[in-house]
Structure formats: structure tokens, C-alpha cells
């Protein structure tokens, strides 16, 4: 009988957006982390009945450009460029487990290098993380969305079934579509989400955020994530929703984004066109996965 490989892992979450974290900081590449095996590994490990259960898989790697590097794979095996909740957990992981003593970190992602400021709690562990999420873009060519690449995508009428959803497109290093609704709790996301995620306007699919403005300082958001379905939270989605809400004059530049898993604080500087995200990161468990 062939001996099964053992994959050490840590499970973490950022306000309910949970991932399996696999440490590859030694630089050694075991067979299960070979490029051709990663999509299937993410699908298997993310399965909530036959695997560990998660929104996806995140690899923590050495970097030649930054302090550390991360790669993100969704639950369906597709690779994502950026994950706001995931990168906060990477910051906590490398500090709390002794891979660094720095509280100012640069993390390499597929959408560029992101800067983190780690905030220590009373117990000496990292409690919150501030992430410079970079610059949002509304241009179709950068989201990407089909149409004239130099034009913005504002309130585009997307048809799913018999319903029309006015959708504003924005990139936060990955594609987002923001839709405003009167009540986020009444939405049937498993029915609506796949059609909007896979609408023909998105050449690479998109994350979809359904937003209700509560007041100028707070919005409520439900998320349908590309490749993972409905998740408890999405960091880049919270940023996209906050920036669109500000651009529409519905909120101020600093806003609390309430998601199903908890709250994120988003600050947008229009002058610099930069977004800061502040939120918690938490360990769930650690163990060994057999493959």
C-alpha cells in the first residue's frame, strides 16, 4: 500500500473568511505543492465534507522582492491574485509563529506587493492588521470588463434570469461588481450569485458584492466570491464596496463595512487613491492532512 503524504496545515480566518495555510518557507517543494497538483489540492482540502473545509488554500512562501510571498487558491481550484482577509492572517501567522519580529511587513502577491502594519494585543499576539490595499480602478481594461477599455463601468445593467442588476465594476487587484440593494438578508445568493459572477461582461469572472447603505459611516455587505461561492467576508470586496459608496456620495471616506462574519474598517484617500483596511485575524486549529 502506498504511504500517504502528510501535509501540515494551520486553519485561520479573518472575520469568518477561512483558509487552510500551508507553510512552504523552507524553500523545499514537496510533491503535493508542485504546480500541477495545486488546483486539485485546493479543491480537496477545501471540501467541507470530505476535506478540512475552507474557502480555499493559501501558501506562505519565501520572496525575493518582499518579506514573504502568498499564493491564494479558491475552493474550486482557481488561483486568485489577492485576498484581503487572507493577507491579514499571513501577517499574524509569520509573526506569532516566530518567522519574523517585524511589525511592518511587505507581502508579495499576484497583484503586487502589499504593506502590512501588525497591531499587537494584550496577550503579545497579533490582534489586528492594517493593510495598504493599493489603488482601486474603475476602468474596464483594468477590472477587467468587456467594452471600451478606457471607460469606467458604472451602473451597468446586467441581466440574470428575469432580473436586472445595476452593477458598478472596480478592481482591487481582482475584479469586483458592486450592486446596491434594499435588504441584503432577503437575497437568494445561490440563485443570483453564479449568474453575476459568470456574466459575459467579465472575461475572468468577478466577485460580486451586494450592498446596503445604513448611514454615511456604515454599509452592510454580502459577498459572492469568484470560485468559492458565498463567503462570510471578503477584504477586497469590502474595499470595493466602500470606495464605490464614497464615489457615489453615499458615505464618507471612512466607513465600517459589516459583513456576515464581522466588521472591517475601510479608509479611502481620494487624493492618493489608496485604500487602507483594518481588521482582525484568528487561528482556528492546526493539524495534518493526508493525501
Beta-strand runs (E) in 151-280: 156-160, 163-171, 175-180, 207-215, 218-225, 229-231, 254-259, 262-269, 274-280
Give the active site residue among 83, 89, 239, 285: 83
Cell of 144: 477587467
Give the active site residue among 159, 234, 239, 285: 234
- Output the CA angle 8-11-15, nearest 5 degrees: 165
Rounded to whole angstroms, how far apart are CA atoms 198 and 160?
Answer: 10
Rounded to whole angstroms, how far apart are CA atoms 121 and 109?
Answer: 26
| 234 flagged as catalytic | yes
**145: nearest Cα among 63, 80, 210, 201:** 201
Rounded to whole angstroms, how far apart are CA atoms 154 and 244?
Answer: 10
| 83 flagged as catalytic | yes
Rounded to whole angstroms, how far apart are CA atoms 220 and 213?
Answer: 6
Cell of 289: 492532512
* 227 within 8 A of 78, measured Cβ to Cβ: yes
Q: What is the DSSP letter of 90?
A: H
What residues act catalytically?
A: 83, 234
Amino acid at each position: 500500500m502506498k504511504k500517504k503524504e502528510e501535509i501540515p496545515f494551520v486553519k485561520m480566518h479573518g472575520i469568518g473568511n477561512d483558509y487552510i495555510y500551508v507553510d512552504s518557507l523552507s524553500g523545499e517543494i514537496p510533491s503535493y505543492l508542485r504546480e500541477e497538483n495545486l488546483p486539485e489540492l485546493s479543491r480537496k482540502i477545501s471540501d467541507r465534507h470530505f476535506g478540512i473545509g475552507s474557502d480555499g488554500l493559501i501558501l506562505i512562501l519565501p520572496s525575493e522582492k518582499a518579506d514573504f510571498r502568498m499564493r491564494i487558491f479558491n475552493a474550486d481550484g482557481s488561483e486568485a491574485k489577492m485576498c484581503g482577509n487572507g493577507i491579514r492572517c499571513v501577517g499574524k501567522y509569520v509573526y506569532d509563529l516566530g518567522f519574523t519580529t517585524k511589525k511592518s511587513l511587505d507581502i508579495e502577491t499576484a497583484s503586487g506587493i502589499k504593506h502590512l502594519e501588525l497591531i499587537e494585543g494584550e496577550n503579545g499576539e497579533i490582534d489586528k492588521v492594517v493593510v495598504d490595499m493599493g489603488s482601486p480602478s474603475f476602468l474596464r481594461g483594468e477590472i477587467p470588463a468587456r467594452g471600451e477599455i478606457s471607460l469606467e463601468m458604472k451602473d451597468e445593467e446586467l441581466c440574470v434570469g428575469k432580473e436586472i442588476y445595476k452593477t458598478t465594476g472596480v478592481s482591487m487587484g481582482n475584479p469586483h461588481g458592486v450592486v446596491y440593494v434594499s435588504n441584503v438578508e432577503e437575497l437568494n445568493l445561490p440563485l443570483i450569485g453564479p449568474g453575476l459572477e459568470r456574466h459575459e461582461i467579465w472575461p475572468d469572472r468577478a466577485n460580486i458584492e451586494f450592498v446596503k447603505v445604513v448611514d454615511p459611516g456604515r454599509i452592510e455587505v454580502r459577498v459572492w466570491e469568484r470560485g468559492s461561492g458565498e463567503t462570510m467576508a471578503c477584504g477586497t470586496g469590502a474595499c470595493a464596496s466602500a470606495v464605490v459608496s464614497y464615489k457615489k456620495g453615499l458615505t464618507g471616506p471612512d466607513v465600517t463595512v459589516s459583513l456576515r462574519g464581522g466588521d472591517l474598517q475601510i479608509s479611502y484617500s481620494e487624493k492618493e487613491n489608496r485604500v487602507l483596511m483594518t481588521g482582525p485575524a484568528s487561528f482556528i486549529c492546526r493539524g495534518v492532512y493526508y493525501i
